Amino acid sequence: MPAGRTSLPPARLSTELNRLSTACRERSLTVGKLLPGMAPRDQALFTAILSVGFLHPIPMPGVSTVFGLVIVSAGVRMAMGLGPWVPARWHGRHLPGRTMAKVFAAGAALMRRCEKVVKPRGLAISAHPWTQRASGCGIAFCGLLLSAPLPPGTNFPPATAILLLSIGTIEEDLVFLAAGCIALALNVLFFGAILLLGWGGVKALLG
């Protein structure tokens, strides 16, 4: 068995998202109630689930900061080779149940399409512990971007990088990991341009 592989295959992400969507419809959720329902086998499944909420236009006011910081924590712990953990003071934070149900349902539909093409590839690299730790660093950086008070519409680029890196880590797929690295580099360029030119300057440049 290649280094870094687990004895049991991780749950399909679409299955986890469907379960979360049902849980959010059935009761009011806090972060503390949500986490046990995820049953993640590793940090990558955890960060993938949290990132899908920012890949569509459903608004989630106030959630990006909380989820972004949780992703930062998960990414850092992944980089350190540690398991999932969330600060106790965040466990009581309430989440918008109906909105999150729609978010997770949309994420499940997206992941069902992705799961048709994702598979273990390049295991000598993708399954190596140091590759997973490097992915954790990239995920933590993009989580920091999610948590920052940036203009509306800027959550999509870091969330995309987080999801690609997470899927690549979960499925040990070098193609998705490479795509995640490209997305990470584009985030550095994009947000670097915002820092230098301002949001108005970037919109003018893109327009």
Per-residue burial over 34-60, b if 16 or more Cβ lie within 10 Å, else e, is bbeebebbbbbbbbbbbbbbbbeeeeb
Q: Structurally, how many domains does the chain consist of?
A: 1
84/48: higher pLDDT: 48
Q: What is the mean pLDDT of residues 121-147?
A: 90
pLDDT reported for residue 177? 95
Asked whether residue 8 is domain-assigned, the answer is: no
pLDDT reported for residue 59? 57
pLDDT tens, 49-58?
788 878 865 5
Asked whether residue 2 is domain-assigned, the answer is: no
Asked whether residue 5 is domain-assigned, the answer is: no
Lowest mean pLDDT segment, chosen from 38-47, 69-78, 136-145, 162-171: 38-47
Please give the C-alpha separations between residue 177 and each of 21, 36, 160, in angstroms, as whole numbers.
27, 27, 12
Lowest mean pLDDT segment, chosen from 77-91, 142-156, 172-186: 77-91
Q: Which domain holds residue 185?
A: 13-206
Query: What end-to-end distance do the CA atoms of the chain give, in Å?
Result: 50
DSSP 12: P
pLDDT reported for residue 40? 38
Asked whether residue 47 is domain-assigned, the answer is: yes
Helix (H, G, I), strand (E, B) or coil at 29: strand
Asked whether residue 130 is domain-assigned, the answer is: yes
Query: Measured over all CA atoms, what is the biggest interatomic distance in the chain, rounded to whole angstroms?
Result: 51
pLDDT tens, 1-34?
444 444 445 566 778 778 878 877 776 677 666 6
Mean pLDDT of the chain: 79
Asked whether residue 198 is domain-assigned, the answer is: yes
Asked whether residue 89 is domain-assigned, the answer is: yes
| Cα(72)–Cα(168) distance, integer angstroms | 18
pLDDT exceeds 80 at position 87: no
Contact 193, 205 (CB under 8 A): yes
Asked whether residue 4 is domain-assigned, the answer is: no
pLDDT exceeds 90 at position 162: yes
| Cα(165)–Cα(185) distance, integer angstroms | 12
